[in-house]
Amino acid sequence: MTAQSDLTLDLDAYWMPFTSKRAFKKAPRFVTGAKGVHFTTADGKQVLDGLATLWCVNAGHCHPRIVERIREQAGELDFASSFGLGHPGPFAVAGRVAALAPPGLDHVFFTNSGSEAVDTALKIVIAYHKLRGEGTRRIFVGRERAYHGVNIGGLSVSGMQLNRRSFEATLLGNVDHLAHTQDLATRAFVRGQAPTGAELADELERRIIAVHDASNIAAVIVEPVSGAGGVLIPPAGYLQRLREICDRHGILLVFDEVITGFGRLGRPFASQFFGVTPDLFTFAKGITSGAVPLGGVVVRKEIYDTFMNASGPGVELFHGYTYSGHPRAAAAALGALDAYAEEALFDRANLLAGDFEDGVHSLRGLPNVIDTRNLQLIGAVELAPRPGAPGARALEAFGKCWDRGVYVRPIGDALAICPPLVVEKRHLDQIFGVVADVLKSVA
Ligand SMILES: Cc1ncc(COP(=O)(O)O)c(C=O)c1O
């Protein structure tokens, strides 16, 4: 699409996701192309993608490996259902994902998005407990400020009030939430993981198990590092403590790795970075570097085997999407996985972590900055809200950053900064330089 054709677009018909449509219509921002770490806007400007476009584009935009695979696949096998039919792509991707996953997590179910991956994981958990004769385990434990997508199951375990409030009446009733891990009074401006706060995990045993009894609790689901809820870094030892409590009580631990998967923390998955292995984990986004929608759930061998051994000769899991394992999504995933391996991209977050951390914390001391936080290539700067207008300051900062050629994302009054893994030091300098200038101007 060219800048010229934008002028003729009808801006009414498309109901945009998570967007103030009325504000968008007044000042539309259009992207018409992207390459590497840059977008091209409709008016021909280059904008540096400081968020890997919602934590997706880890290999950079239009990576030649991925483009080539998609092109080949599109002309060879456009679509074949995976309901009872096999085609090579998803088998190959599942094998590659299982090989990257921690030992014992060997089986992959494909979805089209992170939201579907979360709801799929919750359904597998419930069916697994039922097959094992523990059908009373029906309660899910999520966390305040968690984001697990927008479908009913994922929204139910999420903890973001704005997302939930219109739908509260229809959410699952069998859900409890742990407290989130942010405490600006004692843990602001921390570099990496805070040394205190692991004890927050004890709420699982002290309050939640004490109230509901472990025999009724199916699973705990957390993002290892929460992203869309404001970029919250887990305190040191917190995830380990959750794992220990789950183990003591036969509760499954699900990691939602939709943004942490595929190199964001310098390892294939966050579980490997933290040294904590879940029973199931979800992924999406980085699996194709955002090029084609694809998500999935990886499960421990014991879980998969329970389904295979318990059922008769028919379908073992009555669940799936028409496009589960779509050939083009699989092709994009194979291209992305090749790019990650050939260019050692998962190591980029390790190599850049020091410069990135310094950049994030260089924003400390600027007007209204109440926290800076980071882990590997995940970071955020949090601003004091304007009285009576929560989110307004970060929203204004986002707009000004965009106008000055840098894309970062406002989440409440935080700005999230999580660039593609292919970013270089000079790009980081540009991101933090522009954000710093803008923060002075939104004082
Ligand atoms: C942790 C997490 N889970 C689930 C989702 C939902 O993914 P999708 O938007 O692909 O449905 C997201 C999206 O940002 C996410 O960050």
Containing 225, the helix (H) or strand (E) segment is none
Containing 418, the helix (H) or strand (E) segment is none
Rounded Cα distance between 160 and 229, Å, is 7
* Ligand 1: nearest atom to the Cα of 116: 11
Best residue among 110, 150, 258, 262 to mutate for probing ligand 1, ranked by most atoms within 8 Å of CB: 258
Distance 258 CA to ligand 1 centre (A): 6
Distance 64 CA to ligand 1 centre (A): 25
Average pLDDT of the chain, as a whole number: 96
Q: Which residues contact 258 (CB under 8 A, 6 or more apart)?
A: 55, 114, 117, 118, 149, 223, 282, 283, 284, 285, 295
* Ligand 1: nearest atom to the Cα of 227: 16
pLDDT greater than 50 at residue 209: yes
Distance 228 CA to ligand 1 centre (A): 8
In this structure, the number of other CB atoms found within 10 A of the CB of residue 175 comes to: 19
Best residue among 115, 120, 321 to mutate for probing ligand 1, ranked by most atoms within 8 Å of CB: 115
pLDDT range class, residue 426, cuts 50, 70, 90 = very high
CB contact at 8 A, 363 and 381: yes
259-274 pLDDT, tens per residue? 999 999 999 999 999 9
Distance 210 CA to ligand 1 centre (A): 31
Distance 76 CA to ligand 1 centre (A): 30
Spatial strand order in the sheet of 406-407: 31-35, 38-41, 46-49, 406-407
292-337 pLDDT, tens per residue? 999 999 999 999 999 999 867 899 999 999 999 999 999 999 999 9
| pLDDT score, position 340 | 98
pLDDT range class, residue 368, cuts 50, 70, 90 = very high
pLDDT greater than 60 at residue 4: no
* Ligand 1: nearest atom to the Cα of 55: 14
Q: What is the pTM of this model?
A: 0.97
Distance 115 CA to ligand 1 centre (A): 6
Distance 292 CA to ligand 1 centre (A): 15
Residue nearest to atom 13 of ligand 1 (CA): 149
Two tokens, residue 198: 């692991």
pLDDT greater than 60 at residue 2: no
Best residue among 147, 271, 281, 297 to mutate for probing ligand 1, ranked by most atoms within 8 Å of CB: 147
Q: Residues 43, 45, 49, CA angle at the centre, nearest 5°?
A: 125
Q: What is the three-class DSSP state of 208? A: helix
Distance 282 CA to ligand 1 centre (A): 9
| pLDDT score, position 7 | 54
55-83 pLDDT, tens per residue? 999 999 999 999 999 999 999 999 999 99
400-414 pLDDT, tens per residue? 999 999 999 999 999
Q: Residue 320 burial by CB count (10 A; 0-12/13-18/19+): exposed, middle or buried?
A: middle
158-179 pLDDT, tens per residue? 999 999 999 999 999 999 999 9
DSSP 36-89: BTEEEETTS-EEEETTHHHHT-TT-BT-HHHHHHHHHHHHH------SS---HH
Distance 113 CA to ligand 1 centre (A): 7
pLDDT range class, residue 443, cuts 50, 70, 90 = confident
| pLDDT score, position 1 | 47
* Ligand 1: nearest atom to the Cα of 228: 16
Cα-to-chain-centroid distance, residue 415:
16
pLDDT greater than 70 at residue 396: yes
pLDDT range class, residue 33, cuts 50, 70, 90 = very high
Rounded Cα distance between 200 and 180, Å, is 8
Q: Which CA distances in Å does 98 have to 23, 353, 400?
A: 43, 26, 42
User: What percentage of the chain has pLDDT greater than the value 90?
Assistant: 97
Distance 149 CA to ligand 1 centre (A): 5
E runs forming strands in 286-441: 295-300, 369-375, 378-383, 406-407, 409-411, 414-417
Distance 198 CA to ligand 1 centre (A): 25
Lining residues, ligand 1, CB within 6 Å: 54, 113-115, 118, 147-149, 223, 227-228, 256, 258-259, 284, 295
Half-sphere exposure of 312 (CA within 13 A, CB side): 1
Two tokens, residue 55: 């934590």
Two tokens, residue 210: 């004490």
Best residue among 16, 259, 281 to mutate for probing ligand 1, ranked by most atoms within 8 Å of CB: 259
Instruction: Report the DSSP beta bridge partners of residue 74.
Output: none
User: What percentage of the chain has pLDDT greater than the value 70?
Assistant: 98
**Mean pLDDT across the stretch 374-379?**
98
* Ligand 1: nearest atom to the Cα of 295: 10
Of 440, 443, 417, which Cα lies nearest the Cα of 430?
417
